Structure 1
Amino acid sequence: MTIKRIHTGSPFEAKIGYCRAVVAGGFVHVAGTVGEGATVQDQCRAALATIAKALAEAGSGFADTVRVNYYLPQASDFEACWPILSETFGENPPAATMIECNLIDPKFRIEIELTALDRG
């Protein structure tokens, strides 16, 4: 089986020992991704932009997503992201789970990880 690893150049990838995405077994596995910004919506959009780049490099896209997990320190923040997520996934909504938990840094308000079909 061929494995392709996709890096974004984030310094955390080297520090922690991971890559943004791994293409293997017919799927693109995208690591938990956070984004910068003042609001949860800004961070959601930024995380999705990073994920979009990784999916594109893998030859996939949001329409190919089969599973997504959302991690938020405050579940009450999640509803503000719904319009962004609905627009992103459009007519191809994946199975999804939202989990309330602490993130690596208190400045982050949402982390997104997903699995998509490998169309590459």
Structure 2
Amino acid sequence: MIRQRISSGSSFEEKIAYSRAVVHGDWVFVAGTTGFDYSSMTIADDICTQTDQCLKNICAALAQAGASLADVVRVNYVVPDAGEFELCWPVLRQYFGEIRPAAMMISAGLADPRMRIEIEVTAIKQSAKQVANPVS
């Protein structure tokens, strides 16, 4: 299988030696993504705006990989202040409401004190998925 690397153009990728996403077969692994607007390398102050920007960045990486949020099967959230996590739930519902991937939230420090959330996703392209009946 050919391994495809995807870049967002973030200066962090070169400095830290990682890819925004890696495609391996039908799998897409999107690295921990923060709320930086990579075009201006700026970041908002609040967790909700950062969450929205994280997910826009993730959507862009998935699109480059030939996938979308609908293909996401796993999401991990890292939040330095666990008490803030609930504040971003409406934004998460906006993006993942119908998708409902398996998820986990960890409270841990991030590389830059301005970062309020980091999100990592794993996706499998629709063409590779088998349709299954949902279990209630």
Q: Report the TM-score when normalising by structure 2.
A: 0.85
1:2 aligns with 2:2: yes
Percent identity, aligned pairs only, is: 52
Which structure's CA Rg is the greater one?
2
2:122 aligned with 1:109, yes or no? no
Deviation at 1:56, TM superposition (A): 0.6
C-alpha separation in 2, matches of 1:82 and 1:51: 17
How far has the Cα of 1:119 moved from its partner?
Answer: 4.3
Partner of 1:11: 11
Where in structure 2 are the equivalents of 1:50-61 lying within 5 Å? Answer: 50-61=57-68
Deviation at residue 26 of structure 1 after TM alignment: 2.3
Matching residue of 2:39: none
**Which SS does the other structure have where 2:113 is aligned?**
coil
Matches within 5 A, 1:1-120: 1-35=1-35, 36-119=43-126
Q: Which amino acid aligns with 1:2?
A: I
Runs of 4+ in 1 over 4 A off after TM superposition: none
Give, in whole Å, the separation in 1 of the partners of 2:9 and 2:123: 21
| Distance of 1:92 and 1:11 partners within structure 2 | 31
Deviation at 1:9, TM superposition (A): 0.9
The number of residues matched between the two structures is: 120
Deviations 1:52-74 (A, max 9, x none): 00001111111110000000001
Letter in 2 for 1:84: V
Task: Give the TM-score, by structure 1 length.
Answer: 0.96
Give SS of 1:108's match: coil
| Structure 1: stretches of 5+ with no match in the other structure | none
